[in-house]
């Protein structure tokens, strides 16, 4: 199986490019973020014509997530357990949830396409919402894997965190002054790994950015950030055989400001013919 994650920054604006990439690169499962449309506005036909099943979750021109798969998607969920909501100036614990998570099972893998809140600024209410959201995600992952340690679980998407200094090449993003690189955000990311998840791409692709701001020639100067990840459980990470960051997708006409991150998986394990015979 080939699984990819991509913050597409408007699926309707880039549908031909997205589908073209998926077909050209033989992607079996594509998790998308920032689709920026309601579910009923999603360009299902183009994906279906290319042989994909799609589940989409979106409320407006902001946020939104989706999963496209060559195999049927089952057990679809639009929020993980405990996922908080957010609304400006809302008081209380019942804020409406945003379209930031969609989970489905395909090929024996539980996949979540996630668009982690941006945070906006260190003192902004959205920053505290981001930390609360990440804490709930960590608890969901820990509880899920405690209940089923052999589950192939993948949390993929735009995490809006550069976990290390090497993951930040944007001079405008400064530790101590900017979101994405603050101590609490990095600690929240590390907590996901302590819940039983592994960044399965980094061992195979140690360096490289996944996002470049449209402004100030950031891409030309390679002043980007690594904020898009594929985190997998033990069962998932053990199946990974390859990984790539498709930097060239930031080039060309009207690209997204993010690029696809891809992993290859061997889900079948050793061939039965290699096993010892028992008489």
Strand order in the sheet with 65-69: 53-57, 65-69, 29-33, 2-7, 261-265, 240-245
Residue 275 domain-assigned (yes or no): no
Collapsing DSSP to helix, strand or coil, 156 comes out as strand
Percentage of residues in the chain with pLDDT exceeding 90? 91
Q: What is the pLDDT of residue 128?
A: 97
Residue 84 domain-assigned (yes or no): yes
The pLDDT of residue 27 is above 90:
yes
Q: How far apart are CA 65 and CA 114, in angstroms?
A: 7
Q: How far apart are CA 114 and CA 141, in angstroms?
A: 13
Q: How far apart are CA 137 and CA 231, in angstroms?
A: 12
**Mean per-residue pLDDT of the chain:** 95
The pLDDT of residue 271 is above 60:
no
Q: DSSP string covering 83-141, please? A: -----TT--SS-PPPPS-EEEEEETTEEEEEEE-----STTSHHHHHHHHHHHHHHHHH
Residue 274 domain-assigned (yes or no): no
Residue 154 domain-assigned (yes or no): yes
The model's pLDDT over 49-106, given as tens digits with 9 standing for 90+, comes to 999 999 999 998 889 999 999 999 999 999 999 999 998 878 778 899 999 999 999 9
The model's pLDDT over 170-196, given as tens digits with 9 standing for 90+, comes to 999 999 999 999 999 999 999 999 999
The pLDDT of residue 167 is above 50:
yes
Q: How far apart are CA 242 and CA 138, in angstroms?
A: 26
Q: How far apart are CA 100 and CA 166, in angstroms?
A: 27
Hey, what are 147's tokens?
């209940």
Residue 279 domain-assigned (yes or no): no
Q: What is the pLDDT of residue 94?
A: 86
Number of structural domains in the chain: 1
Q: What is the CATH number of the domain that holds 237?
A: 3.60.10.10
Q: How far apart are CA 24 and CA 246, in angstroms?
A: 12
Q: How far apart are CA 130 and CA 107, in angstroms?
A: 31
The pLDDT of residue 269 is above 80:
no
Q: DSSP string covering 170-184, please? A: -TT--TTTSTTSSHH
Residue 278 domain-assigned (yes or no): no
What average pLDDT does range 16-27 have in this prediction?
98
Beta bridge partners of 264: 2, 242
Hey, what are 169's tokens?
């090449």
Residue 276 domain-assigned (yes or no): no
Residue 273 domain-assigned (yes or no): no
Structure confidence at residue 270 as a pLDDT band (50, 70, 90): low
Strand order in the sheet with 152-158: 74-77, 101-106, 109-115, 152-158, 228-232, 198-199
Full residue range of the structural domain in which residue 111 is found: 2-268
């Amino acid at each position: 199986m080939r699984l990819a994650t991509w913050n597409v920054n408007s699926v309707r604006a880039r549908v031909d490019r997205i589908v073209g990439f998926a077909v050209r690169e033989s992607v079996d499962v594509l998790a998308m973020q920032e689709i920026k449309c309601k579910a009923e506005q999603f360009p299902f036909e183009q994906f279906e014509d290319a042989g994909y099943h799609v589940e989409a979750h979106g409320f407006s021109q902001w946020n939104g997530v989706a999963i496209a798969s060559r195999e049927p998607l089952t057990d679809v969920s639009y929020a993980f357990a405990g996922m908080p909501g957010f609304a400006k100036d809302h008081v209380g614990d019942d804020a409406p949830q945003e379209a930031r998570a969609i989970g489905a099972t395909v090929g024996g893998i539980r996949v979540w396409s996630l668009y982690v809140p941006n945070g906006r600024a260190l003192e902004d209410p959205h920053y505290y919402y981001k930390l609360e959201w990440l804490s709930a995600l960590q608890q969901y992952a820990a509880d899920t894997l405690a209940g089923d340690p052999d589950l192939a679980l993948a949390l993929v998407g735009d995490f809006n965190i550069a976990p290390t200094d090497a993951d930040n090449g944007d001079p405008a993003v400064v530790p101590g002054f900017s979101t994405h690189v603050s101590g609490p955000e990095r600690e929240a990311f590390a907590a996901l790994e302590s819940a039983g998840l592994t960044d399965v791409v980094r061992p195979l692709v140690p360096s490289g950015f996944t996002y470049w701001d449209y402004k100030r020639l950031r891409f030309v100067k390679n002043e980007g950030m690594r904020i898009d990840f594929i985190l997998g459980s033990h069962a998932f990470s053990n199946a990974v055989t390859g990984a790539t960051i498709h930097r060239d997708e930031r080039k060309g006409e009207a690209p997204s400001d993010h690029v696809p991150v891809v992993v290859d998986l061997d889900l079948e394990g050793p061939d039965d013919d290699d096993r010892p015979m028992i008489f």
